[in-house]
Amino acid sequence: QVQLQQWGAGLLKPSETLSVTCIVYGGSFSDYNWNWIRQTPGKGLEWIGEINHSGSTNYNPSLKSRVTTSRDTSKNQFSLKLSSVTAADTAVYYCARGSKGLSMDVWGQGTTVTVSS
Amino acid sequence: AIQMTQSPSSLSASVGDRVTITCRASQGIRNDLGWYQQKPGKAPKLLIYAASSLQSGVPSRFSGSGSGADFTLTISSLQPEDFATYYCLQDYNYPYTFGQGTKLEIK
């Protein structure tokens, strides 16, 4: 059974860089797209971006200038970095496995990130 | 970006009721739509993919329909564990977008 486990710093100051990593247990890593989503009370669920099965990235234009996603296939891990954070980036961040036509079927447990001075 | 409009935003129902939630896309998205259930403090859980395909392990009382721009999620007979928030997600094109959610509460 495929599981995603994620971790990252929970408290950041404005202007710092958010970093969250997700490790994939079980299943194929290279055959899927790996997504990042965040959830805030005010804006609901927001797709941040993905790194796909070929290593290409796609980002939400609303965050594109600050987002970087990467992967390490040898460790079955993928990561999110979001630079220059502000209070508006306070959210629960999720990683999720995706596949075209199959939506996002496996999710991490979520990482709560708070941005506060 | 494609806008996904869900309705209603909240719904009160009783155990055993049949419930329908709708999601409308601002443009056609073929059948590239998923439905998710989320409970407090938990990650969303995939119920339906490709608009009408039941995810493995999901009870058959959940069903999805639609294609193009209009989609529905139906729960045929509500169970106590079904009270949660439901979201739709389009992965037709980038950026992927979610509906704003439907909170299903006990009447």
| SS3 of A47-76 | EEEEECCCCCEEECCCCHHHEEEEEECCCC
The predicted-structure confidence for B62-98, as pLDDT tens digits, reads as follows 999 999 999 999 999 999 999 999 999 999 999 999 9
Nearest-angstrom CA–CA distance, B16 and A15? 50
Tokens at B40, concatenated: 């407090």
pLDDT for A41:
80
> Min CA distance, B41 vs chain A (Å)?
9
Chain B residue closest in CA terms to A101: B50
pLDDT for A27:
86
Residue B18, pLDDT > 90, answer: yes
pLDDT for B11:
96
Taking a C-beta distance cutoff of 8 angstroms, is the pair A109, A96 a contact? no
Flag if B46 and A105 touch (Cβ within 8 Å). Answer: yes
Which residues of chain A from 35 to 74 reach within 8 Å of chain B, CB to CB? 35, 44-47, 58-62
The predicted-structure confidence for A79-111, as pLDDT tens digits, reads as follows 999 999 999 999 999 999 999 888 999 999 999
Flag if B49 and A105 touch (Cβ within 8 Å). Answer: yes
pLDDT for B51:
98
pLDDT for A114:
97
Q: Residue B37's beta-bridge partner residues?
A: B45, B86
For chain A, which ranges sit under pLDDT 50?
none
Mean pLDDT of B33-53: 98
